[in-house]
Amino acid sequence: MSKRKIFNRVVFVLLLVFIVVFLISRSRQKSAFNDSDLIFSRIEVPVESNAFWTLLKATNELYWPDRLEHKLGDLSDNTNWDDSLAADVLNKNRAFLDLFDESFRQPFLLIPEPKTITEDYPYLESWRAISRIESIRAISLFRAKNEKDALDASLKIIQFGQRVENSGGVIIHYLVGSSIKTRGLLRIQQITAQTSLKEADLLALIRELDDFKPNNEGFTNALKVEYQTERKFLDNVAVGKFAGVETANSVLERTLSSIGLLAVYNPTKTKNEFAQSVRVIRDNISKPFSEIPWPDLPVMETNASTWKLLISGNAVGNILFELLDPSLKSFSSRKSRENVNVTATQLLLALKIYKMRHDKLPESLSELVPEFFSQVPIDDFDGKPFRYLPDKKIIYSVGPDLKDSGGEARRNGSDDYDLPFKIEF
């Protein structure tokens, strides 16, 4: 190759580099950025008022051996019931259950502030176990004909789940709290099918369940705390710090600086994308799942060519967004599923009372209005009245696919399914 051709290629490459740097510099022009509305205000709670430390102490008393994991799981789900094993596990968890009860006398459940995006929360698995032990207690009480106490224990599981949702943690805390609440709701649904309690007790429970939907505050705060941990990580990346790499002169930082990777990272622009995602969900949190403007969520072109990513001026930020941004659509679906579970439980209780009075089920859910509900309860997925098929003895939600499949549950991994609840009385 001639020297002139080599020279021309070098000039061409330098020109491309100049263009990229010019475009990057323009993209990095400072713009106003204010995320004060997304900062979770963490209050100071005295240790003696914070149930977190009591629950942490309770985990040291927890009896849940790995060798019995499957059998104890069956007990907590009310399958393959074993009276002897249930009595044994409750007896061995007596101190644990006392501490769990004590935690409810403390006004707050607030976890320590999350520090990094990679932080583990080992206590969450123990909190799941707490709900399983309390579930076994509720089932045992019901089988012993202590129906009111059984319902109270089930309601305590729901209350605990909501406390976990509101504990000031990242999204995983809300999701664990939601799964705990669902366990308590399932217990109430099963008890409702067989209970002989009076109408007044069941009606009081319907009213109590009003306090557990929708938990918009816990949902919003979890979004904020998640955003704060992401924001801190993004700021650290800007100076070459990653989780577990704290020294300013780390090998990673020097490597990144030497290859110029940080020149294609705009932390402010990236934080703006994360903030927009949170605001879209937060500002529409009271709407049904179907009415949330999903197209307003930012979408990053991480599959674009290398040159297109470089020219964007935020190649690193785009990749980080795709890696770190939680699936807010899936998260919102979980929130709607939880609301549907609460609504279905209330409906089953109301239908039970109706059946006790009339010795039959109503022809329509509208017959439950206005005594039990001001209107037919709404499906949190599509915003329409909850579905009811008296001939099939089910009530149901259309679920996240937003298609009415006639009350069909999910089968063989199909994406088209409803969320049915059987009327077993």
Mean pLDDT over 407-423 rounds to: 88
CA distance 154 to 209: 11
User: Would you state the pLDDT for residue 281?
Assistant: 95
Above 50 in pLDDT, residue 226? yes
CA distance 324 to 322: 6
What is the pLDDT, as a whole number, of residue 31?
A: 55
d(CA 256, CA 227): 25
* Whether residue 259 has pLDDT greater than 60: no
pLDDT digits (tens, 9 = 90+) for 333-372: 999 999 999 999 999 999 999 999 999 999 999 999 999 9
Whether the bond between 65 and the residue before it is cis, its omega within 30 degrees of 0, is no
On the question of pLDDT at 311 being above 90, the answer is: no
Per-residue pLDDT, 138: 98
**Number of other CB atoms surrounding residue 384 within 10 Å:** 15
DSSP state of 385: B
* Mean per-residue pLDDT, 367-382: 97
In this predicted structure, what is the pLDDT of residue 300?
Answer: 63
Number of other residues whose CB lies within 10 A of the CB of residue 35: 16
Q: How many C-beta atoms surround the C-beta of residue 21 within 10 A?
A: 15
User: How far is it, in rounded angstroms, from Cα 425 to Cα 352?
Assistant: 7
More confident residue, 382 or 23: 382
The reported pLDDT for the residue numbered 104 is 97
pLDDT tens digit sequence for 269-308? 899 999 999 999 999 999 999 999 999 998 766 565 655 6
pLDDT of 142 reads: 97
Query: pLDDT band at residue 33, thresholds of 50, 70 and 90?
Result: confident
* pLDDT for residue 5 is more than 70: no
Residues 6+ apart with CB under 8 A from 310: 20, 24, 264
Going by pLDDT thresholds of 50, 70 and 90, the confidence category of residue 412 is confident
More confident residue, 263 or 163: 163
C-alpha distances out from residue 8 to 1, 3, 12, 17, 77, Å:
11, 9, 6, 14, 74
Give domain limits for the chain: 3-40+221-329, 50-197
Position 305 scores a pLDDT of 60
Give the pLDDT score at 32: 65
Average pLDDT, the chain: 88
Tokens of 385: 């009245």
d(CA 341, CA 399): 11
Report the percentage of the chain scoring pLDDT > 70. 84
| Cα separation, 238 vs 360, whole angstroms | 66
The pLDDT value given to residue 150: 98
pTM attached to this predicted model? 0.87
Considering only 8-12, 95-99, 135-139, 320-324, which range has the smallest mean pLDDT? Answer: 8-12
* The two three-digit tokens of residue 100, written as one number: 């769990």
Supply the pLDDT for residue 317.
85
